[in-house]
Structure 1
Amino acid sequence: MSATALAVVLSLLSAVAYAAAAVAQERLAARLSGSGVLRLLGSAAWWVSVALNASGAVLHVVALKYGPLTVVQPLGALTLVAAVPMGARLAGRRVSAVEWRGTAFTLAGLAALLVTASGPAPDEVLGVTEAVAVAGSAAVLIGALARPGTRPGLRHAGASGIASGVGSALTQTVTVAATDATGQLLSVQVVGVALLVAVFASGGLLLSQTAYRGGLGAPLAVVTLSNPLAASVIGICVLGERLQGGTAGVLLAVTGALLASWGVVQLSRTPSVGRPALPPEPETPVPRPPRPGHLTPL
């Protein structure tokens, strides 16, 4: 099995783990809406979602060892594809035609992206100076998105996706150092990058938990798009990764990105993928004004 094929398989397993974690987080957010961090820490369901996220992260880290960011990160969109049937099953309903159509568009777009992004195992990773610069720029952007204001769910979802994408790029640096024969794993620089990974991973997890308070579909769609976008920008602009096929490859990649984006939009039309529909609230009768000459009892 080639390095790229192994990275794809590991990324698929990672997407399933992340999807299960997202559904668990959304259902927990529905029960504990408005709760603080301390109540989350006291919930067994929260720790289950953390364990699922950790499993997905480990698989993702190994995938980054064998495949470039431009291959591994787009496959994160399969998290949304896997979350749809999982959430529907838990909610006791069937997957809708819109959701199946969104799944098909997403898979077609990802196939086109993989054809153009497939390349050798990564030989360039972020240096310490580059890692600090990327982390600082990302922190400013995440802080701007996470500020109080309108539509916090979607903004927090975008911030969570960026945090995860940057964390993946930083993780790749640590992973390569861990398997390097020069013994630089315990160097001060590598330990510092590892701490940055922990900060971005924790921040992304808490931001996604906040975003899922309004449902799973739209926030998870935003996370799904912003995560590979952030990582791909780093891979292409900083690490020098390139698309395959020249001009034709770029056109195919753009087409694939548009198809995948449209598929994600279709999937996001179900506002609460994992949450069962609530019964309609009873209508409150509107009091009628008293008729002329009619005495209103005290």
Structure 2
Amino acid sequence: MSGATGTVLAVLLSLVSAAGYALAAVAQSRLASASAGGHGALRRLLGRPQWWWAVGLNAAGALAHVAALHYGPLTLVQPLGALTLVAALPIGAYGARRRVSRAEWRGALWTLAGLVGLVAVTGPVEPDEALNLRETLVVTAVTLLLIALLASRSRARMHTGARGRGLGHATASGVASAVGSALTQTLTTALARDLPGGPNGWWQTALLAALIAAFAAGGLLLSQAAYRGGLAAPLAVVNLSNPAAAAVIGVALLGETFRAGAWGWLIAAAGAVVAARGVVLLTTGLETEGEAGVVPGARSGVTDDEPVAFAVRGPDVPESPAAPEPLLVPDPLPEPAR
């Protein structure tokens, strides 16, 4: 197969992967908005066919992504994966029968630009680089503690209705997926050589497989919880925290570095700042008065069909107009005597 044909296939498969992930995110977001939490929420979720459609779409997106990596380089496929956010916005808006606001488009483009800059300077993993057993256990323990902290803070923000609710779950989901990918790469490398630890180390292979399955399922459930706070901002954070966590693992434990030396580090830092700006725009959802008649998130049990009355009170505005004082007319003067 020629290089041009492989590149075209890689692009097409990357677009299919982005569409699969976007459809799955929209489906998860609609499930999150339609279902309540509490006891038995997970059981109710697993009993809904829409959830399994979302799982299947995520799996299809992952398979298309792996196939795209087979035909194209990482530097081409990974940035195209960030199109998931751009595709999810119009799909979600169409399902909600609304238009994508200008603030959402700006936030998506900022996030996409930051992700492309971050991934473009991230070097591919060397085939023989993998985590050893001690590093695997350390990464697992640190990740579990981080996920527990992020999830607890996100739950607290969910209950209070604070801005940015769900972003903690989204960050935890991205981190869990990144660790699952790192462990998957470790497992495939170990199996290509031999069983980890030699012929008697089969239990290490089983441990890696169990951890990979746990992080994959945990990342999916954490993203489901994140979408209770909306679609765009949590999806942007998931797409941002995943490569960021993978880059941290690669640089700290696998001896990787960013391309272009010091310039690569500067580009990665600038990309992170740009992507963070996009997440802020998606979180706040600011709109001008001409673009929307309601403020996003400002719903206090009032439906769109109910009129809302506003009272303006000021220091110089009386509660009610004062009744005019009666006009005093003086009595007529007596006529002089003749």
Whether 2:150 is the aligned partner of 1:145: answer yes
Would the aligned equivalents of 1:61 and 1:175 in 2 still touch at CA under 8 Å?
A: no
For 2:215, the equivalent position in structure 1 comes to 200
Root mean square deviation of aligned Cα: 3.6
CA gap of 1:11–1:63, structure 2 versus 1, over 3 A, is same
Offset, 1:118: 4.4
Counterpart Cα distance in 1 of 2:107 and 2:88: 12
Whether 2:184 is the aligned partner of 1:171: answer yes
Whether 2:174 is the aligned partner of 1:161: answer yes
The alignment partner of 1:207 has SS state of helix
Offset, 1:8: 7.6
Counterpart Cα distance in 2 of 1:261 and 1:188: 41
For 2:47, the equivalent position in structure 1 comes to 42
Counterpart Cα distance in 1 of 2:80 and 2:279: 13
For 1:209, the equivalent position in structure 2 comes to 224
Q: Which runs of 5+ in 2 are unaligned?
A: 159-165, 287-298, 310-338
1:81-100, aligned counterparts within 5 Å? Answer: 81-100=86-105
Q: Which amino acid aligns with 2:23?
A: A
Offset, 1:40: 0.8
CA gap of 1:264–1:284, structure 2 versus 1, over 3 A, is closer
Of 236, 239, 246, which residue of structure 1 is paired with 2:251?
Answer: 236
Deviation sequence 1:225-261 (CA, Å, 0-9, x none): 2222211111111111111112222222222222233
Deviation sequence 1:90-118 (CA, Å, 0-9, x none): 22333332233333333333343344224
Would the aligned equivalents of 1:217 and 1:270 in 2 still touch at CA under 8 Å?
A: no
Quick check: which has more Rg, 1 or 2? 2
Deviates more, 1:39-48 or 1:246-255: 246-255
CA gap of 1:160–1:147, structure 2 versus 1, over 3 A, is same
- Number of equivalenced pairs: 279
CA gap of 1:215–1:15, structure 2 versus 1, over 3 A, is same
Counterpart Cα distance in 1 of 2:15 and 2:79: 11
Deviates more, 1:90-99 or 1:237-246: 90-99
The alignment partner of 1:147 has SS state of helix
Whether 2:22 is the aligned partner of 1:19: answer yes
Counterpart Cα distance in 1 of 2:64 and 2:168: 27
CA gap of 1:105–1:61, structure 2 versus 1, over 3 A, is same
Counterpart Cα distance in 2 of 1:44 and 1:166: 28
Counterpart Cα distance in 2 of 1:177 and 1:7: 27
Q: Which amino acid aligns with 2:211?
A: L
Counterpart Cα distance in 1 of 2:284 and 2:194: 50
Normalized against structure 1, the TM-score is what?
A: 0.78
Percentage identity across aligned positions?
A: 53
Counterpart Cα distance in 2 of 1:105 and 1:234: 25
The alignment partner of 2:262 has SS state of helix
Of 105, 109, 113, which residue of structure 2 is paired with 1:108?
Answer: 113
Counterpart Cα distance in 2 of 1:176 and 1:9: 28
For 2:32, the equivalent position in structure 1 comes to 29
1:205-284, aligned counterparts within 5 Å? Answer: 205-270=220-285, 279-280=303-304, 282=306
Would the aligned equivalents of 1:74 and 1:228 in 2 still touch at CA under 8 Å?
A: no
Would the aligned equivalents of 1:67 and 1:119 in 2 still touch at CA under 8 Å?
A: no
